[in-house]
A and B are shown apart, each in its own frame.
Chain A
Amino acid sequence: MAVTALPVIHIRDLRKTYVVSERETGARAALKSLVHRRMQEVPAVAGISFDIAAGEIVGFLGPNGAGKTTTLKMLSGLLHPSGGEVAVLCHIPWKREKAFLRKITLVMGQRNQLVWDIPAADSFELNRAIYRIPSDVYRRSLDDLTGLLDLEPLLRKPVRNLSLGERMKCEIAAALLHRPQVVFLDEPTIGLDVSMQRRIRSFIADYNRRYGATVLLTSHYMADVEALCRRVIVIHHGRLLFDGELSGLVQRFTRHKTIVIQLQDCSVDLHAYGEIIECVDGRATLRVPKAETARVTERLLADLPLIDLTVEDPPIEEIIEQVFAQEVL
């Protein structure tokens, strides 16, 4: 593997452990807790390592509480790691050097940095002052983003009058005005309707193509990751389960394949061939162990008067669910 340049994001054995006070229920325990609090250590991130090169869009996938947001916060300097190495653009994030902060940006789904009662354009001006963006760069940036995100009709409206999707577009624009090299997106499409999700995804892809920004995107929507990321990192219980191409994820974790056949009707008994998932109007879906796929397909073709037959991978959601359920490493 050729090493071309230093990775933009570098993590080695990163850990984060939270200390929370815990308490039993009831009034007596409540009184006791006034005097003595029991602390418990909760490992949110339990030693993960990866490197991300410039210009990559990486999807960070995991169920709620997996440690995705915690990792993102450690990368953006918001959290101190409990252990391990972390470097972004050759800076140590938690030192929060101004030069570092100028090169990154953070977008959090359903959390606003825009000022509520005034038009988005005015919040943009505020960011311009804070990031000290020269006016010509700012103008160009704003024009580009307005074009890419279709912001023209939204800029003059107070943010509170915008719909959730419109607000998200403005939030993203505000975060990108200073042309950061690294973009952290924490659940950016959460709560949005499907068409808006697609808009935002295509924007992120466009932006990455145009400016070569490195994008780290966390999501629990598979669709986000499928659409944007060649590379996927799967995290669960604070541990890395998988780091590689999406197709590799499918390859490695599926034990089954799905065979979909089209018959005249559902009268034929298909139990001998595999697990029947469903049969509707003659269209039957069978689940078959991966190793058996070729053999079952042969038999189906030989035995039955098929109208059609396709072999598919199970839907990625299912794969991920299985991955989380089994924690196969």
Chain B
Amino acid sequence: MTIPGVAIVTGGAAGLGEAIAHRLADEGAAVVVADIDAAGARRVADALTQSGATAAAVPCDVTRGADVEQATQVAAGLGPIRVLVCSAAVESRQSVIECTDEEWQRVLDVDLKGPFLCMKAAIPHMVANGGGTVVAMGSTLGLIVAPGHPAYCAAKGGLVNLCKQAAIEHAGDNVRVNVVAPSATDTGLFIRFSAEAPDPEALRQRIADLNPMHRLGTAREVCDAVAFLASDAASYTSGCVIPIDGALAARRM
């Protein structure tokens, strides 16, 4: 029971967000699964409830202020909001020249404006209840770049700065804000992306071999970092980026 209170997990219907929702519930939190995939959110909330946790599903497009407000209200109805995990994101693989207006806007809206709107809605509740913590899912690609990800890199890079600002602005309110930056992980969007390759295993191994640890990260490792940051064990840690990347970013300046 290291994380009492209510946790909102955006993008909690799939991938790392789903794993994080389970982990926070295991740590004692009541979990609101907020996702644009309403059926998926329902499925995850039901599984949490079945395992004895308190959970609710909210259909929520994080780019829409009204949806985010709704999810926040549902959470506040369950008790004091202590944790916000911003995991909802979309990826795009297009060069600058190929990237359309719509694609650019969609990635910036979901991956950067989404966390902005969620923090804007949830932080005042945390302040009113004596504190809380935000964990945003960044990415190695918010720290360094790779060809073909202009919108994703820009959004994740912007997210780091946004979180540092929120951390400073609310340092006196007992609200901590941190970023977890995974590299390719065995769960979620990378696995789905690689499944489309002619030889998925070969691609996964190639990506893993770029990593000093020569393997992909695991959902458990990401959840460990999120749980640490969301708990009092991290009470003096705010405005930081924790790479969960097998030393990948260490190779870079």
Q: Are A and B a genuine interacting pair, yes or no? A: no
List residues of A whose CB falls within 8 A of some B CB. Answer: none
